[in-house]
Each structure stands twice: as C-alpha cells, then as structure tokens.
A and B are shown apart, each in its own frame.
Chain A
C-alpha cells in the first residue's frame, strides 16, 4: 500500500542525503519525494510517498525518527488530506491541432504557459489522477517533454503537521 508521509526536518545541509540514503540502504521504495521550506525558515518539509505493508511503514517511520535532523513525521494516508502535483508538458502542436489541445486544457482547467512554433507548453496542477488523465489526453499529440514535481500534501481542517503538534487553533 502507498503511504504519504509529511516529514518536518531541520533545514540543515545534507538532510536530504540523510533521508534518501536511509531509504536506499534499508531497501525501502520511494515513489516520490518533494522538499521545500515551510513557514519557518529553519524547517523544511518533505512529502514522501512510500510503498510497503504496515510492517515496512512502521520501520520506515521509526528509522526516520532516529535521524537527528528529523523533527516530526505524520503518516497522513488514513486522514482527510489535500494532495497536489504540478506538471509541465511540452506537447507537439501544429496549427491544425491547437484548437483541440486548447479544449483539453480548458476541460482540465490547465493553462498554456508558452507557445513555440510547433509546440505548446501546458501547466497543470491537481491530484495524481487528474495529472495522469491530462497526460493521457495529450499523449496522441506527441509529448516532447514532461516534468512532474511529485506530490505535496496537507491535512484538511484543523489538524496540523507542524512542531506545535495537532492542537486546535481557536
């Protein structure tokens, strides 16, 4: 089963290597990993999507906790959460098919962010299913280049993954 871990880490040099190294040497599979700063500049947040059964997940979490730079880990999979991914797609677009492509872009509420002589660059955000659907739809036109950010995710409602714990904010 796939799990989404929200991991708060010290924004120290090498922290990504520590986390990535842990996964590779212990043989855990990372589906995706994103990292960026949070509202606190000393803390970065990783969103790690990892596959494995409950026993593997328990070990992943415990081993991550052993890293001194890891402050907090939330497995948000079983909670209500919002997850998003961003994709940039450069698609082959002769003038004859541009209208059709623009229609697809509209349907998915994506955006055209650049136009070349024979290409269009499309930006789309959404959950994994939507991103996959956009890619699928644009496939017939010839995808020249594609880049995805990997997933970021956040709990819905008043639950937090922050160092202030899951206290309600009222």
Chain B
C-alpha cells in the first residue's frame, strides 16, 4: 500500500517512539497536519514557534529522549531558529520538521519561502532538504540517528509541500549507513591507562564535570569515580545534577558565578579530570591562569572539544559512560589526604551567602523552593540573575532536574522548556525560575500551558530590572543603568487573564505558603515575587579574569 509523504512522516515518528510534538500549523504543513489529525501522536499547539523549539528541547533534557517540533515554511521556520541554536549549544537531541514551498517553487522567492537549511547550517548538527518522497523515511531515520548519537544535537528536516502529498510504499529502514558519521564511543585503552597512572600519582585531584555526564547518563559512574579517587567534584552549569551537591566531595558550580571552594580547588589542583565538559570561557575565565598547576585528563565524545581551548595531557575520546566504566574498573581506591581537608575548609569558610535585611531576597526564595520540594522538583530557568541564583541556592542531587540554556543563554527559554519538561515528566513538580525580563519574552506560552492544563509553576523574581545587565552596569559601567530599568505588566492579573492562578509575594514569611499553594493547585501558576531591586549575584569573576580572583561573596 502506498502512503503519502505526510503519512510517512507520522509513521516514521511513531517508529521512532515519538509521543509528543510541539508545533504550529501553516500553509506548507497542511498535509502533515491533516495526517496528524487522525494519528495517535499527541501534538501541542504552542503560541509561537520559538516556544515549540524550546518545549521540544525541555522535553528532551527532562527525558533524555529526542524532542520534536514542527513549523511551517518561511516565518514559521525562522521562528524556530533561536530554539535550534539553543539546543545546538547545549547538545540537545532535537528534531525540527519544517514545511517548505513545493520543489518547483524553490529558489523563486515564493510566498513564505526561506532557505532554512542554509539559515540553520551553523546551528544544526546536520540538516536535510528532502526532494524525493522515496528518501523521506530514510532521511527521518538518519536524522534521529544523528540527533541522538555521539554528541547529540538538533537536526532539521525541511520538507516541501509536494513531497508531503506524493505517494510511495513505506518501509522504515532498520539501520542507517552513513559513512561520514561514525562517532567514537569506546575510549582508547592506552589513554585510559595513562589516565590511571596520572590519577595514581596525583596529590590534589579535582573532577570537573559538564553536561556530557548528564547527556550520557553517566552519573553513577561519575559518583564511583569521585569515591574511588576521593576527588572534590565541581560541575559546570550544564553539569548540575550530575553529582549530588549534598555529597561531602561536592564543591558546587565553578566559573564566573561558581563557589569560592570550587574555583580555589581548580586553581590549586595538580590533576583536573574534565568529564563531558568543554572549557567554556564562563568556566575558565583567563585561560593562562586556569588550573595552572594541573595535569589535565579530558574525556569527551566530541574529539573537536579536546585541545580546543586548553592543552590536554591525556585526551580520551569516547562516550563518557563507557569511558568512566572502563576507567573505574582499572582504578584502585585512593586515600584522602590533607588536600580533601583543605577543600572542606574552603567549603566551610566560604559558603554562598547573602545579606538579610528584611526585604525579600531572591536567594531565600530559591532556598524555600528547595525545602518545599525536598529537592525533588525539576527546576527550569530563564537567563540572567534568576538562572544563577537557581543554580547556586538549590541543591541538586539528580541529573535532568536542572534545565537551563547554558551555552546560548537564551532569555525566554524557561517557560516553554518547562512546559516541555512537564509533558515529558508529568509526575514531577516543574518550576520555571524566571526574571521579569526573561518571562516577557515568551509569556504567550502561558496560553499553551492553560489550554492543555500543563501545571507548570512560574516563579518570577521580579526586580523591575534586567538584573544581570544592570549588575554589570553597576560594577563595570559606573552605575549608568542604560535601558535596564524595565516595567512589566501586573503579573497576577496577567496570569488570571490567561486563566492561570496568579499570586504576589512581597515578604519572606509568605514564600513557603505560596509555593505550597501553587504545587497543590495542580494547574499553571505564576507567582510574582517582588524582590530587592539591586541584589547582585556573587561571587563573581570579572570577564577575562582569573577564576580565583572573585568579587563579593
């Protein structure tokens, strides 16, 4: 029996085990939407295509499964771009399906035509323009394979309307054969032995864990590595949750807004074990002074990350989980020395702290969220101060419980990503920690949350500023607050207008009860926390500075 291209798309998605799609219809995807109409696939109609991309991204990060978004040609496709770039920077498996004008209209500046494969070339792991319906099933198979293996990433498939209409026999391929794409999964044995030797000789080891640990589901292996080597563990923003922050060896996040203990430990260590991390500038600060006394072992599935920013002594290309399993098997139990005590003393001496002065503080809101959810919630963030406080003042113990746009730093990411996360993990409490600036960038997705009754809680840390930019203006631009003073709507009324529950909290004592009420409401909620206006995120490493030289805290 022959199927249309649109039917093949739906069938192929089902073959891949897709359960949810986030999308927005339009002219060139009409055939796909028609096929969706009687399919068992659950489609969530967002209010802006950017929301679809972020929701699929949040779904992917929360579940580990690929997220799927769908948009029409031209503006629909270009609206996905920020979401695709966000997923690309954070290695999120995302499939973006876009409609395209019919093949014979391509290249003629047709209505709603945009060269989306050209546009997304630098922000996708790979992309396809399907010009023959016989290639469609194979292309989808390849797209899922590329998106989910090796270092994951977004893959876009652009599908002209006539391809959706044309018919062919459907057979979903069993395997892919891409001769130019063969990710290295198993670590080199020689290099693993070299790592064992370095670890055996190290006196002051530190583990620096990134998002790769979460992506490859290697938390248990990381835990074992930490205990075997008795290494203090610091994580990047993307690595949060990879190692329990309640563990005595955890020193929290490192880098620009990292803890003093993490930054001191990295600066003083003689062996840095980098696991699934990429030495981003927000982590290293001044490169010459980053871990200056350390030998470096770098484990990553992407060979191009090794040696990109820092010189590495032992490079191990491979899947983090597979490499750590093999490495752990070869390691002997190390004994704690004076080093671990020293790090513990830093931890005790320099905890994250803020000043209580009677005005509602953002940090205490995050601490209350931690208490009320027992650390069991999925925390999604926007970008800016809200993101950093959420990273600092909640103690994450499990992977995939902290979801944030790290690499691209996309404001407006949080709410749609929270919706996606809640769709993927309906049994978890999902809280979007937002700023009053960021939330206004994709606030329209409240309608999506209400429409499908997806009970996400938006906790706005409202200071009527673009807080992080204001903080930089305060510190580096002599308090010249150029266009960072921002007014918002009445968020309580706005929530109600959307059909959500709205609350406002201005005092510390009301934070807990409001959160409780929000969780029990089991429907979309916005809580407008009116906070100290000029609160800063500390500690802070000035951009380009050495990470052991921190301001504040």
Contacts and interface: CB of A to CB of B under 8 A. Distances in A.
A10 B304 contact: no
B302 A21 contact: no
A14 B146 contact: no
B180 interface: yes
Given A18-B121, A65-B303, A68-B126, A59 B308 contact: yes
B392 to A, nearest CB: 33
Interface string A54-66: 0100110011011
A18 B129 CA distance: 14
A58 B306 CA distance: 10
A71 B179 contact: yes
B45 to A, nearest CB: 32
Given A59-B304, A68-B146, A17 B118 contact: yes
Given A55-B307, A58-B307, A59-B304, A68 B181 contact: yes
Contacts of B304: 59, 62-63, 65-66
A25 interface: yes
A121 interface: no
A67 interface: yes
B180 A71 contact: yes
Interface residues of B, number: 17
Interface in B287-345: 302-304, 307-308
A14 to B, nearest CB: 7
Looking at B117, B122, B129, B179, the one whose CB has the most chain A CB atoms below 10 A away is B179
A114 to B, nearest CB: 35
B1 interface: no
Contacts of A67: 126, 180
A70 interface: yes
4 nearest CB pairs, A to B: A62-B304, A71-B180, A68-B126, A68-B181
Interface in B88-134: 117-118, 121-122, 125-126, 129
Nearest to A66: B304
Contacts of B179: 10, 71, 163
A18 B118 CA distance: 9
Contact of A68 (B178, B303, B308): B178
A127 interface: no
A69 interface: yes
A66 B146 CA distance: 11
Nearest to B131: A13
A17 B307 CA distance: 26
A58 B312 CA distance: 13
A25 B180 contact: no
A51 B181 CA distance: 26
Given A10-B180, A67-B180, 14 more contacts: A13-B129, A14-B118, A14-B121, A17-B118, A17-B121, A59-B304, A59-B307, A66-B304, A68-B126, A68-B178, A68-B180, A70-B180, A71-B179, A71-B180
B308 to A, nearest CB: 6
25 contacts: A13-B129, A14-B118, A17-B118, A18-B121, A21-B121, A21-B122, A25-B122, A58-B307, A59-B304, A59-B307, A59-B308, A62-B303, A62-B304, A63-B304, A65-B303, A65-B304, A66-B302, A66-B304, A67-B126, A68-B125, A68-B146, A68-B178, A68-B180, A71-B180, A163-B179
Contacts, number: 39
Looking at B117, B118, B181, the one whose CB has the most chain A CB atoms below 10 A away is B181
Nearest to A62: B304
A35 B302 CA distance: 27
Contacts of B308: 59
A114 B457 CA distance: 78
A21 to B, nearest CB: 5
Contacts of A68: 125-126, 146, 178, 180-181
B116 to A, nearest CB: 12
Contacts of B180: 9-10, 67-71
B3 to A, nearest CB: 25
B408 to A, nearest CB: 15
Interface string B411-433: 00000000000000000000000
Contacts of A65: 303-304
Interface string B154-194: 00000000000000000000000011110000000000000
Nearest to B181: A68
Looking at B129, B146, B180, the one whose CB has the most chain A CB atoms below 10 A away is B180
Contacts of A163: 179
A71 B177 CA distance: 12
Nearest to A24: B122
Nearest to B317: A62
Nearest to B306: A62
Interface string A63-86: 101111111000000000000000
B150 to A, nearest CB: 9
Nearest to A72: B180
A25 B118 CA distance: 14
Nearest to B151: A66
Looking at B117, B146, B304, B307, the one whose CB has the most chain A CB atoms below 10 A away is B304
A43 to B, nearest CB: 9
A68 B183 CA distance: 10
Contacts of B307: 55, 58-59
A71 B13 CA distance: 28
Interface in A97-147: none
